[in-house]
């Protein structure tokens, strides 16, 4: 049965509460103290608990405060910690870098990011050689580009790489590619065997002559190269599979539905995680992940796909461990970077940004505390008994979030990342 609360219902409840609280009293006697109003509907009780269940977090010289201490304590005990973000917020990149460095002493040794496997590997190589400037120079290469190529993201990656031993690969990439085909194909050219020469030439010409290649061409172009090159080295195999799967994900978007494309992308990301875990099964690492919040939620995500976040809980449970999921969103007065024309970025008010077109029901409107004096951390687990069956008809995203994330970080007055 659908549940709703209106202004009239609230006024009526308020009036009844006032009438029932009145008692006869003698002239001159002090009136009885007013009793606090108890929320009368399931959604009102949930919202009241949501507003009160918060810890402060400061970011003046890096994260600090009771909210930060609680996040670190919870993450230390988990096998996986997942940061689900609204992209383009500078403070989120700073939080992630500080969290990884803090958790190194608790066994965290891998950082998974929303880039393809080879691009993550090459960014790490650039960072190890030349630090932050090496990563920024890599971002500037004309044949490689991602929506993640922002200055604060580069600083975050430099901090992660700098915290890891030089002989240890720390970055894991789990995503497809969208604009980096020419860069990846160029890395193959010197290794292509003679028998794959003709099919590789067709692939290279298609990439050169059709833009955007990964959104318009058929994955059969790459499949033909793979058929002619049966035993490539590890990196070449990963490049070919990344190109093939990126083309397939986008082909499904053209011929099927957005759900089909998102589901295929999620399966590719889960497969990438499974490969990395198989490679390190002898000494399973603890992993911090930072992806868009639709990918990091436990269970089915906001478009009903079992994404990367759903897999981590199952993997952790096999070893008697758990995953800790953190939602990080810009709250009141915040700004975030969004894609502009070409490869540019623009800064927009987070109060007006509505990716899922949920209006006033969107998470960035419902979760923040309008009276907050600073950043806040919410323990969402304490709210689960109140996020009961039936409330999905009121706000399905809020109910899904409370059960799919363990904590939420709400920024107040956060800054847009810079290009």
How many residues are given for the chain?
Answer: 419
- What is the arithmetic mean of pLDDT over 84-102? 98
Q: Report the pLDDT value the prediction gives residue 13, as an integer from 0 to 100.
A: 37
Which range, 210-219, 301-310, 389-398, has the best average confidence (pLDDT)?
301-310
Is the pLDDT at 98 greater than 80? The verdict is yes
Is the pLDDT at 409 greater than 70? The verdict is yes
210-249 burial code (b ≥16 CB/10 A, e <16): eeebbbebebebbbbbbebbeebeebbebbbbbbbbbbbb
- What is the arithmetic mean of pLDDT over 10-16? 35
From the list 314, 237, 230, 231, the residue with the least C-alpha distance to 277 is 314
- Tens digits of per-residue pLDDT, 28-39? 555 556 656 677
Q: Report the pLDDT value the prediction gives residue 257, as an integer from 0 to 100.
A: 92
Return the number of other C-beta atoms located less than 10 Å from residue 255's C-beta.
9
Output DSSP code: residue 47.
Answer: H
Q: Report the pLDDT value the prediction gives residue 21, as an integer from 0 to 100.
A: 37
Q: Please report which confidence band the pLDDT of residue 359 belongs to, taking 50, 70 and 90 as the band edges.
A: confident
Is the pLDDT at 15 greater than 60? The verdict is no
- 10-19, 125-134, 357-366: range with lowest mean pLDDT: 10-19
**375 within 8 A of 67, measured Cβ to Cβ:** yes
More confident residue, 311 or 359: 311
Q: How many whole angstroms separate alpha carbon 190 and alpha carbon 184?
A: 12
Output DSSP code: residue 23.
Answer: -
Is the pLDDT at 7 greater than 80? The verdict is no
Q: Is the peptide bond before 212 cis (omega within 30 degrees of 0)?
A: yes
- What is the arithmetic mean of pLDDT over 158-173? 95
Q: Report the pLDDT value the prediction gives residue 8, as an integer from 0 to 100.
A: 36
**Axis crossing angle, helix 234-255 with helix 181-188, rounded to the nearest 10:** 150
User: Which residues fall within 8 angstroms of residue 1, CB to CB, at 6 or more apart?
Assistant: 390, 393
- Tens digits of per-residue pLDDT, 173-215? 999 999 999 999 999 999 999 999 999 999 999 999 988 999 9
Q: How would you list the strands of the sheet with 286-292, edge to edge? A: 54-57, 375-379, 407-411, 323-330, 80-85, 286-292, 108-113, 171-173
Sign of CA dihedral 382, 386, 392, 394: negative
Q: How many whole angstroms separate alpha carbon 150 and alpha carbon 388?
A: 40
Percent of the chain having pLDDT more than 90?
82
Output DSSP code: residue 34.
Answer: P
Q: Report the pLDDT value the prediction gives residue 19, as an integer from 0 to 100.
A: 31
Percent of the chain having pLDDT more than 70?
91
What are the residues facing 57 on neighbouring strands?
375
From the list 113, 114, 104, 107, the residue with the least C-alpha distance to 79 is 107
**99 within 8 A of 83, measured Cβ to Cβ:** yes
More confident residue, 328 or 12: 328
What does pTM read for this prediction?
Answer: 0.89
Q: Report the pLDDT value the prediction gives residue 252, as an integer from 0 to 100.
A: 95
DSSP labels, 256-308: S-HHHHHHHHHHHHHHHHHHHHHHTTTSPPEEEEEEEHHHH-SSB-TTS-B-H
Q: Please report which confidence band the pLDDT of residue 370 belongs to, taking 50, 70 and 90 as the band edges.
A: confident
What are the residues facing 377 on neighbouring strands?
55, 409
Q: Report the pLDDT value the prediction gives residue 10, as an integer from 0 to 100.
A: 34
**84 within 8 A of 327, measured Cβ to Cβ:** yes
Q: Report the pLDDT value the prediction gives residue 32, as an integer from 0 to 100.
A: 59
Is the pLDDT at 306 greater than 90? The verdict is yes
């Amino acid at each position: 049965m659908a549940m709703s609360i209106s202004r009239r219902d609230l006024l009526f409840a308020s009036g009844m509460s006032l009438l029932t609280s009145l008692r006869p009293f003698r002239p001159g006697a002090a009136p009885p103290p007013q009793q606090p109003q108890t929320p009368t509907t399931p959604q009102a009780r949930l919202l009241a608990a949501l507003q009160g269940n918060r810890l402060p977090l400061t970011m003046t010289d890096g994260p600090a405060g009771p909210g930060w201490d609680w996040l670190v304590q919870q993450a230390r005990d988990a096998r996986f910690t997942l940061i689900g973000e609204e992209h383009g917020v500078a403070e989120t990149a700073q939080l992630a870098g500080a969290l990884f460095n803090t958790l190194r002493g608790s066994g965290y040794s891998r950082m998974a990011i929303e880039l393809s496997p080879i691009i993550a590997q090459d960014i790490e190589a650039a960072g190890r050689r030349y630090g932050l400037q090496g990563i920024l120079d890599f971002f500037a290469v004309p044949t490689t580009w991602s929506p993640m190529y922002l200055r604060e993201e580069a600083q975050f990656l430099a901090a992660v790489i700098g915290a890891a031993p030089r002989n240890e690969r720390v970055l894991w990439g789990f995503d497809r590619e969208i604009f980096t085909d020419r860069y990846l194909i160029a890395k193959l050219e010197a290794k292509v065997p003679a028998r794959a020469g003709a099919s590789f030439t067709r692939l290279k010409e298609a990439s050169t002559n059709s833009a955007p290649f990964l959104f318009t061409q058929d994955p059969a172009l790459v499949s033909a190269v793979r058929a002619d090159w049966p035993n490539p080295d590890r990196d070449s195999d990963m490049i070919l599979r990344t190109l093939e799967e990126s083309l397939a994900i986008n082909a499904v978007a053209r011929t099927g539905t957005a759900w089909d494309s998102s589901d295929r992308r999620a399966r590719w990301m889960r497969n990438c995680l499974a490969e990395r875990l198989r490679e390190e099964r002898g000494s399973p690492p603890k992993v911090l992940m930072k992806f868009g919040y639709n990918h990091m939620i436990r269970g089915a995500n906001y478009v009903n796909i079992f994404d990367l976040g759903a897999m981590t809980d199952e993997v952790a449970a096999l070893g008697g461990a758990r995953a800790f999921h953190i939602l990080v969103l810009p709250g009141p007065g915040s700004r975030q970077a969004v894609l502009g024309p070409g490869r540019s970025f623009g800064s927009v008010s987070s109060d007006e940004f509505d990716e899922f077109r949920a209006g006033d029901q969107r998470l960035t409107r419902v979760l923040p505390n309008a009276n907050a004096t600073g950043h806040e951390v919410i323990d969402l687990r304490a709210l689960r008994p109140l996020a009961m069956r039936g409330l999905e008809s009121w706000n399905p995203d809020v109910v899904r979030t409370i059960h799919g994330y363990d904590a939420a970080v709400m920024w107040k007055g956060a800054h847009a990342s810079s290009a």
